[in-house]
Amino acid sequence: MKKNFLVLILLTGFFTLGCSSTYGPTYYYSPPVTTTPTPTGISSSNPIRIMGNLYPETYPGYSPAASSAVSVYVNGTAVTNAAVTLITPYSTMVLPWDSVDRIYQNDGFGITLDYGQVYTIQATTTAGVASASCTMPGPINLSSNGLYATWSNPPNSNVGFNVERGGYTLGSYSGYSPYYLPATVFSQGSGTYLYDMVIANQAYIFSNAGTGSAFVINFQNYVNVTH
């Protein structure tokens, strides 16, 4: 994977982390979540603001991998000396400061996809410790014929589908579970098609975090479908 870039999308509160995969074309997409729990633990008077993203992906024949990037601010100023960690159900990982991209990040590490479990980013600063917790979305269950998909976590989330073949995008779709893809996805006839599917979820529990803090998990799942 190449370097990651953390981009704040003000209208939705989501982050899109551009992750250029060596597996094939990358689909940049942050679908909206229509049912999001009301965030707790954010205070307008707290000086610490943390903004982060976890971008796990799966690809046929490879173990799940992920990238994570976090920005930390104290009293509105970006800090480079925070201790930033990603806490998963199985481990705690330090996200080192990247002086080139000017974010805390780790790129291309192995990950266990524990759907429905909580993942947390935590920043220890001179002003205290702040964290944001988010539930791993997914899984996306795709029928063997590639025309029917279901998912339940997060509830009522919109999932994006990008159908590719030979490095070319043949169609892009999005919808809610259960979702039926049109038979025209197989416009190129018999063969193998690559489904690039993205489901997003945003943080709902914060601790000691200031206004503007956010954490999003964008789960990108590649699946080969033979038609």
Is residue 92 predicted with pLDDT exceeding 90?
yes
Residue-averaged pLDDT of the chain: 85
- Model confidence at 42, pLDDT cuts 50, 70, 90, reads very high
Tokens of 181: 């893809």
Contact 121, 82 (CB under 8 A): no
Q: What's the alpha-carbon Rg for the chain, to the nearest Å?
A: 18
pLDDT value of residue 128: 96
d(CA 201, CA 187) in angstroms, rounded, equals 31
pLDDT value of residue 120: 97
Residue recorded with tokens 């029928």: 143
43-56: pLDDT as tens digits: 999 999 999 999 99
Neighbours of 209 (CB within 10 A): 26
172-192: pLDDT as tens digits: 999 999 999 999 999 999 999
Is residue 18 predicted with pLDDT exceeding 60?
no
- Name the residue among 141, 88, 79, 101 with its Cα closest to residue 3: 101
- Model confidence at 155, pLDDT cuts 50, 70, 90, reads confident
The C-alpha torsion from 151 through 153 and 156 to 159, rounded to 10°, is -60
Neighbours of 133 (CB within 10 A): 18
* Residue 79, SS3 per DSSP: coil
Rounded mean pLDDT, 209-213: 95
- Name the residue among 163, 59, 44 with its Cα closest to residue 111: 59
Tokens of 12: 């939705």
Residue 37 is given by DSSP the state P
Is residue 36 predicted with pLDDT exceeding 90?
no
Which amino acid, 188? Q
Is residue 25 predicted with pLDDT exceeding 90?
no
CA distances from 33 to 102, 169, 202 (A): 28, 24, 8
Q: What is the DSSP string of 86-141?
A: EE-SS-EEE--EETTTTEEEEEEEE----TT-EEEEEEEETTEEEEEEEEPP---E
Strand pairing category for 192-202 and 214-226 = antiparallel
